[in-house]
Amino acid sequence: MAVLVTGGAGFIGSHTVVQLLEHGEEIVILDNFSNSSPDVLDKIRQISGKDFKFYEGDMRDKELLKRLFEENKIEAVIHFAGLKAVGESVEKPLDYYDNNINGTLCVLEAMKASGCKKMIFSSSATVYGNDNKVPFTEDMKTSATNPYGWTKVFIEHILEGVCTSDKEFSAVLLRYFNPIGAHKSGLIGEKPNGIPNNLMPYIVKVANGEYDHLNVFGDDYDTPDGTGVRDYIHVVDLADGHIAALEYARKNNGVQTVNLGTGRGTSVLELVRAFEKASGKKVPYVIAPRRAGDIAECYADVSKAKEILGWQAKYDVDDMCKDNARWALKL
């Protein structure tokens, strides 16, 4: 039986496929390269020494999905495929609702037609919205402040509904905090198209001279140094969390929601300093106005992941910065 990884050529998807292959899983990838590139596929083969089947296409292509599920015995789906830029989702809400929600419904329909009843879903800490208090726990109320976040909230509810209607279905909703870092080989990592929205890829472009400084969005938050605090998690730790979730789904039915974070908060300036130390490069910055929609602090309570998945993050921010520098700056 194979595991289908939608979005498996992406940043988190490719790291998860490497870990799954090394764990002995049979893998099928579906990706339309909307936020990834074909060269990642050979890098995955090079790192793992293993092969996998690949289908290029959009998860809304029902004929393609039908063929994929007919040609492969899919036991479980790890569902990464989705648009994920917060700002872009505000400009193009219909694209986000169609791609992320309708796309997920197409995948679920194909799973139902073939009797596949396990899904590990790529959710996000963004569903904690602006009204909860840190550290965030899985039982907290969810909401969103942008269409991207709403797609994650809606898909979590869709999967809850599927598990209510089909008692044999197993869904693990993984709420990622802030994934950074890269595989220690330096062969795969985050490669966002265009101007990065997120902090770490922006820091990298300042460190390699593409941009002359970083804009620190506000230093007047109620945090130790006034800058935003986030729970950065190594992408390989995140990948291993999916393996633990797959093992859990193999033994349990129903829906489980689990935070994947370290449980520790790191400020913008602390991350800048850690990256300078890891890379030996300076990262000049200026204090800029706050970014609309940002919250002061976002970090996880990680007790449930340990309790039900037997998983906890192994790497710290220094490891993440070293691995990021090796990948992005070829250090």
SS (H, E, C) 29-73: EEECCCCCCCHHHHHHHHHHCCCCEEEECCCCCHHHHHHHHHHCC
CA gap 309, 77 in Å, rounded: 18
- The reply to whether 268 sits near ligand WQD by the rule CB under 6 A is yes
Structure letter (DSSP) for residue 125 = G
Candidate residues 228, 261, 263, 265; the one interacting with ligand WQD per rule CB under 6 A: 228
Q: What is the arrangement of strands in the sheet containing 74-79, beginning at the earlier edge strand?
A: 53-56, 27-31, 2-6, 74-79, 118-124, 170-176, 254-260
CA gap 331, 323 in Å, rounded: 9
Which residue's Cβ has the minimum distance to ligand WQD? 228
Piece in contact with ligand WQD (CB under 6 A), picked from 45-53, 183-191, 244-252, 291-299? 291-299
CB 29 within 8 A of CB 17: yes
In this complex, which beta carbon is closest to ligand WQD, that of residue 128 or of residue 248? Answer: 128
- The reply to whether 132 sits near ligand WQD by the rule CB under 6 A is no
Element (H, E) at 203: helix 199-207
Binding residues for ligand WQD, total number by CB under 6 A: 20
Element (H, E) at 119: strand 118-124
Q: Smallest gap, in angstroms, from Cβ of residue 199 to ligand WQD?
A: 4
Q: Smallest gap, in angstroms, from Cβ of residue 296 to ligand WQD?
A: 8
23-52 binders of ligand WQD (CB under 6 A): none
Could you tell me whether strands 27-31 and 254-260 are parallel, antiparallel, or unpaired per DSSP bridges?
unpaired
167-226 binders of ligand WQD (CB under 6 A): 176, 178, 197-199, 202, 214-217
In this complex, which beta carbon is closest to ligand WQD, that of residue 110 or of residue 320? Answer: 320
Q: C-alpha distances in angstroms, 226 versus 143, 168, 216?
A: 25, 48, 10
Candidate residues 225, 291, 292, 307; the one interacting with ligand WQD per rule CB under 6 A: 291
Candidate residues 126, 142, 151, 279; the one interacting with ligand WQD per rule CB under 6 A: 126
Q: Smallest gap, in angstroms, from Cβ of residue 100 to ligand WQD?
A: 11
- The reply to whether 21 sits near ligand WQD by the rule CB under 6 A is no
Q: Would you please indicate which residues are annotated as catalytic (active-site) residues?
A: 148
Helix (H, G, I), strand (E, B) or coil at 173: strand
Candidate residues 84, 175, 183, 234; the one interacting with ligand WQD per rule CB under 6 A: 84
Instruction: Identify the sign of the CA torsion 63, 67, 68, 69.
Output: positive
- The reply to whether 143 sits near ligand WQD by the rule CB under 6 A is no
CA gap 246, 251 in Å, rounded: 9
Candidate residues 124, 142, 259, 324; the one interacting with ligand WQD per rule CB under 6 A: 124
Residues in contact with ligand WQD by the rule CB under 6 A: 84, 86, 124, 126, 176, 178, 197-199, 202, 214-217, 228, 230, 268, 291, 294, 298
